[in-house]
Structure 1
Amino acid sequence: MGLKNFLFENESVHGINSPTDHLYIKILRFNLRIIGSWPQKELGEKEPVALNTFLYFYLLATIGCQLGSTVYLRAYNSELTFLEAGHTYLMILMTFIDISRIVMLTFSKEYRKVSKEFLTKIHLFYFKDSSEYAMKTYKRVHLMSHLFTLCLLSQMIFGLSCFNLIPMYNNYVAGRYKSGGTQNSTFEHSLYFKYPFDTLTDMRGYVLSNIINWILSYLCATWFCMFDLFLSLMVFNIWGHFKMLIHTLNNFPKPRSDTSCLIEGGLTVTSAKYSEEECIEVFKKLKQCVDSHRMIVK
């Protein structure tokens, strides 16, 4: 696959047998599986037992991060600069959002039910063959979803790398990796927690905490970005359904023949009237519009 095809893939039909065959859904699935938030059981996929256990580990680890950062802030509050204190407060607030998403989404049966319904019923893949305009809308939404996913994933990886590499670079420039480099200063971290060992001046403690910071920051970014990506993909498809519904209403079939009748006073009134065959077609169109509207607002 060339770079152009990778970035602007528009093969939305060939080789696609379900929505999960799309590249952007595969990216979403890969990341949500890591944090145990992909509806595997609901979609009939094999669900690893270890992954279910990790859900509780993630919750306990996130709560531990919240406590660790709070204890660190209380212990070193008088020594922190304004920027360091602000950084720690932001970390505490973001961790709180992570905990809420784990409890309200990852552990939620309703979330998994909605996810299954989107991937098995609502996705435009299941409506693309209903008309020429439906196929056109499906391809447009596919391209939007594909590019948006690649853009968000790139931003997440770039932001995650900068978040962790900048403190490491600052430590390198300040000479803290050299022998005795922390005699008059301390290691700079991307995340600050109160550990039971020294992470500010001891190299081994710093390396261990740095590895933990990389893992935790990736998990945090995944909870933030991938859930938002999932919601955005749903919005794109609902927008596509609205476009298809509006197009159907704007191009509703009109009666092919006129009926004239003579009324009192010798006036002739001519009005359009559907034939029996046309009434059947109109009924199907109306039913299609009503079903589409019900599905959108459900």
Structure 2
Amino acid sequence: MTRKYAKEEVDFFLLEYPFLNGVRNILDIKYIKILRRCLKTLSAWPSKEVGEKESKYDFIGKIYIFLINLICLPPGVLYIKKYFGVIDFLELGHTYVTVFINITSLIRLLLIFMKSYKNLVGDFINKIHLFNHKHHSEYAMSTYIKVHKVSHFFTMYLNTMVFIGIILFNVTPIYKNISSGAFSNYKTENVTFEHSVYFELPFDYKHDIKGYLVIFLFDWYMSFVCSSCFSNFDLLMSLMIFHVCGHLMILIDKLKKFRRPSIKLLINNIEYEWYSDAEMKLVSRDLRNIILHHSLIAEFVKKMSQTFGPILYLYYMFHIINGCVLLLECSQMSAEALARYGTLTFVVFQQLIQISIVFELLGISNDRLIDAVYSVPWECMDKSNRQKVYIILMRTQRSLAIKAVDMVDVGVQTMALIIRTSLSYFIMLRTFSGEDTP
């Protein structure tokens, strides 16, 4: 009878939430499958740490993806060196942007060699993901459903944005080549092909059709790799934050709905509440579970900060430099400049705003947790349990914000500061560019 009831309950649950049908473990969830596939393209999925069989080719894949990014850097820097002062800064600015993207991608790819990164992803899948905690209470299940929907939508949205960005970034030079007649007159010597990325190479790819085709295909591939370095790690960090916020929501619910005492005491005509001896034991158990739950969250956030902190710091530096250069490119206000750099500028600033808002959710949830601790009826407890409440209060006072190199909080305030700084540098560069114009 019990088994039959349990089966009916599961069937009803899957009927109400059909997107969970067939999900028996975390790796069966659709957005986790997409995340796994995305990270696999960079050899960044730690198979062993999540309980899968590790391929003997994983390390070779890591070396390959890192070297292919590393090989692109010197030709890009040499191109800037060769044409610095020869062509206009606004024309050369495109290569500045692509070189900065290349450097940031290389730095992010260092994560795939770090043991701390692998353990962090393993902890996320095996310990933090709300699939592991949904059975603890009805509220935990409803929170899991909410976080699942947000995570799925965000995964699809981010992958769609990356796909559109890659297309627009590489299609613009193709359109310009068609408009200029470069494809129809490729046999003549006066043809100059436009590219999405420029390098200093020992062969001619600007005037020769064979060289053009080689770099054309390579640029598409590298656009995919570099975009993956940005989007896939951003997606991973965002999903981790969503689930940590879900844990905080569950903790807040536990604290706000903490069991009330059943005993009423009348002292000096004033009614007081107090827990019975049996209730005190239950209170002690509940408080201990809350402490352990919060410790699990705090330890994971600490590991996130240690692993992603340096990456986020350099990511912010990238946005400061790249942001002002892209704004300078767009300031030409020509149709060509807006077509070529407008979308890229939008995508870059959108990524900054997006990741900052996601991390800001962690700080907001932590503030709500601090307030929820005060709703616990500590005055009705004995000394031992009051000490446990005090421990919870002290631990929740510590900020759970992710810090970039333990210096800068990752959030909306830092994002606003970076945008202001980029605008200031843009105005300065624009002024110098105007002074240099004869």
Q: Scaled by the length of structure 1, what TM-score is found?
A: 0.90
Residues 152-183 of structure 1: CA deviation (Å, up to 9, x unaligned): 00000000111111111111111101134663
Within 5 Å, give how 1:1-298 maps onto structure 2: 11=18, 13-103=20-110, 105-180=111-186, 183-260=189-266, 267-268=268-269, 270-298=271-299
SS of the equivalent of 1:80 reads coil
State the shift of 1:276 in Å: 2.7
Gaps of 5+ in 2: 1-15, 300-438
Range with greater deviation from structure 2 (65-74 or 218-227)? 65-74
Alignment-mate amino acid for residue 132 of structure 2: Y
Q: Indicate the SS of the match to 2:149.
A: helix
Q: Per-residue deviation at 1:287?
A: 1.7
SS at match of 1:89: helix
1:144 is paired with a residue of what secondary structure?
A: helix
* Partner Cα distance (2:297, 2:145) in 1: 19
TM-score with structure 2 length normalisation?
0.62
Q: Is the 8 A contact 1:10 1:143 kept in 2?
A: no
Once the two structures are TM-superposed, the CA of residue 102 in structure 1 deviates from its matched residue by 1.3
- In structure 1, C-alpha distance between the alignment counterparts of 2:188 and 2:248, rounded to whole Å: 61
Q: Is the 8 A contact 2:43 2:61 kept in 1?
A: yes
SS in structure 2 of the partner of residue 90 of structure 1: helix
Deviates more, 1:288-297 or 1:80-89: 80-89
Deviations 1:1-37 (A, max 9, x none): xxxxxxxx95454322222211111111101111110
SS at match of 2:134: coil
How far, CA to CA, are the matches of 2:276 and 2:56 in structure 1? 61
Aligned mates of 1:245, 1:49 — CA distance in 2: 41
User: Of Structure 1 and Structure 2, which has the larger fraction of its residues in helix?
Assistant: 2
Per-residue displacement from partner, 1:130-162 (whole Å, max 9, x unpaired)? 111111111101111000111000000000111
One-letter amino acid matched to 2:64: F
**Structure 2 counterpart of 1:33, which letter?**
K
How many Å separate the matches in 1 of 2:45 and 2:153? 21
**Bigger CA drift: 18-27 or 231-240?**
18-27
Q: Secondary structure in 2 aligned to 1:49?
A: coil
Contact 1:175 1:181 in 2 (8 A): no
Residue identity opposite 1:282 in structure 2: V
DSSP-derived class of the 2:239 partner: helix
Could you list the per-position Cα deviations for residues 227-250 of structure 1 after superposition, in whole angstroms to 9, with x for gaps in the alignment? 010000000001111111111101
- Please tell me whether the aligned partners of residues 10 and 142 of structure 1 are also in contact (alpha carbons under 8 angstroms): no
Aligned letter for 1:135? M
Contact preservation (8 Å) 1:36, 1:55: yes
Query: Matched residues, percent identical?
Result: 36
CA distance in 2, matches of 1:97, 1:10: 40
Q: Which amino acid aligns with 2:272?
A: S
CA distance in 1, matches of 2:133, 2:285: 16
Amino acid of the structure 2 residue aligned with 1:143: K
Quick one: distance in 2 between partners of 1:13 and 1:276?
42
Equivalent-residue separation in structure 2 for 1:214 and 1:187 (angstroms): 15
Gaps of 5+ in 1: 1-8, 262-266
Take 2:18 and 2:229, find their aligned partners in 1: how far apart are those partners?
A: 29
CA distance in structure 1 between the partners assigned to 2:283 and 2:219 by the alignment: 61
Aligned partner of residue 264 in structure 2, secondary structure: strand
- List structure 1 runs of 4+ shifted beyond 4 angstroms: none
1:15 aligned partner, one-letter code: G
- What CA deviation, in whole Å up to 9, does each residue of 1:45-64 have, x standing for no partner? 23333332121122222121
Structure 1 range deviating more: 143-152 or 81-90: 81-90
The count of aligned residue pairs is: 284
